[in-house]
Amino acid sequence: MTDQLRVPYEGLKAFIQSCFMAEGIPKADAEIVGRLMAEADLNGSDGHGVFRLVQYIERLRVGGMTNTPNITVVKERAAMALVDGDNGLGHLAVNRAVEIAMQKAETTGVAWVGTRMSNHAGPAGLYARMPLKKDMIGIYMAVGSANHLPPWGGTEMLLSTNPIAVAVPTADEPPIVLDMATTVAAYGKVKTKAQRGEPMPEGWMIDRQGQPLTDPTKANDGFLLPIGGAKGYGLALIFGLLAGTLNSAAFGRDVVDFNADAKSLTNTGQLIIAVSVEAFCDVDAFKQSTDAVIRDLRASPTLPNFDEIRLPGERAYAVRLDNEKNGIPVHGALLEKLNNLANELGIQRLS
């Protein structure tokens, strides 16, 4: 087993596309999802890119997701739309939502587009970044695909890590891209700790008595903690209402754990807001101002134990540059799974 391969973006994209086409997904759709999943990996969101391919294909095969969705706009006004993803891959519904939002915002200045009957669509930052190319700010929220968070003070897991991502254009600095769960740690980080046999730091999870839980193999006996206690719980609730309930998508008790159940409809909801900077002010002046803020923050003296001040999105940007140059790292265990899939589908292996 090769320990790690670094696959060029184009190669990874083509591989994902081929897999989906072999599963009966139309070429145009397979191309979109291939591009978005490979881009997630390019940006270093390696828990949300090709890592999910086998899981998505399993869901398509058992009927939990449709491979030829008829994606439609079911509600529309000048500055909003609601996209029904018809239970296809979430990337298709959200990609359509972002395109509509950018198109509307070009005229109206701001547009808000929601999705329902969507599915897991990869990392939040992927979609918040899309409006940047039009000099727009992107804001994305989603209902997470499994409930791991109780209300503050409670023990029933009715909420997910409902993430938010916001991307802001810059001039010479890397774009600001905040991409965060409303919990201290995303659930994927807990799984990574378990895989590596490492304890979790205190503050990530508590057990049913409210005591710190640091053994990641016992994650099922406890809950994630929201950021800022009641505040993070409030944010998870609000993002869920906006991305879920408002779109007539699942939220709260109705959320299906897509890791545990590949068959049930998830009715996932997301939302994207596109904000045209040009509507508010001179675009170049805005970008220069954003750069100035970044440089002021970065120039702050640091506390002991900190080497530097980081900006949201800076690490992802550095990873992207490295991955563009050296290829996207695909680790051994994942590589083996992907090559097995390729063999099964009769398409070319990654290595």
For its own copies, which is the closer residue by CB, 5 or 249?
Answer: 249
Cβ 289 to its own copies shortest distance, Å:
5
Q: Rg for the chain (alpha carbons), in Å?
A: 20
Cβ 126 to its own copies shortest distance, Å:
17
CA atoms within 13 A on the CB side of 303: 2
Closest CA to 40 of 53, 28, 27: 53
For its own copies, which is the closer residue by CB, 56 or 233?
Answer: 233
DSSP reduced 3-state for 133: helix
For its own copies, which is the closer residue by CB, 92 or 311?
Answer: 311
Cβ 102 to its own copies shortest distance, Å:
13
318-327 residues labelled b (16+ CB within 10 A) or e (exposed): ebbeebeeeb
Tokens of 125: 């930052």
Measured CA to CA in angstroms, residue 285 lies from 129, 243, 280, 294 at distances of 20, 32, 11, 14
Cβ atoms of 279 and 110 closer than 8 Å: yes
Measured CA to CA in angstroms, residue 212 lies from 196, 202, 208 at distances of 20, 6, 10
Cβ atoms of 267 and 66 closer than 8 Å: no
For its own copies, which is the closer residue by CB, 55 or 211?
Answer: 211
Phi-psi region of 40 (alpha: psi -120 to 50; beta: other; left: phi over 0): alpha
For its own copies, which is the closer residue by CB, 296 or 324?
Answer: 296
- The residues, any chain, with a CB within 8 Å of residue 56's CB and separated by 6 or more, are 65, 89, 120
Cβ 88 to its own copies shortest distance, Å:
21
Cβ 91 to its own copies shortest distance, Å:
22
Separation between Cα atoms, residue 128 and residue 131, nearest integer Å:
7
For its own copies, which is the closer residue by CB, 10 or 282?
Answer: 282
Cβ 133 to its own copies shortest distance, Å:
18
Cβ 227 to its own copies shortest distance, Å:
3
Cβ 24 to its own copies shortest distance, Å:
32
Tokens of 315: 């690490």
Write the DSSP symbol of residue 183.
B
Separation between Cα atoms, residue 38 and residue 44, nearest integer Å:
10
For its own copies, which is the closer residue by CB, 53 or 105?
Answer: 105
For its own copies, which is the closer residue by CB, 60 or 82?
Answer: 82
Indicate the Cα dihedral angle 145, 129, 9, 188, nearest 10°.
-30
For its own copies, which is the closer residue by CB, 80 or 89?
Answer: 80
DSSP reduced 3-state for 140: strand
Cβ 172 to its own copies shortest distance, Å:
16
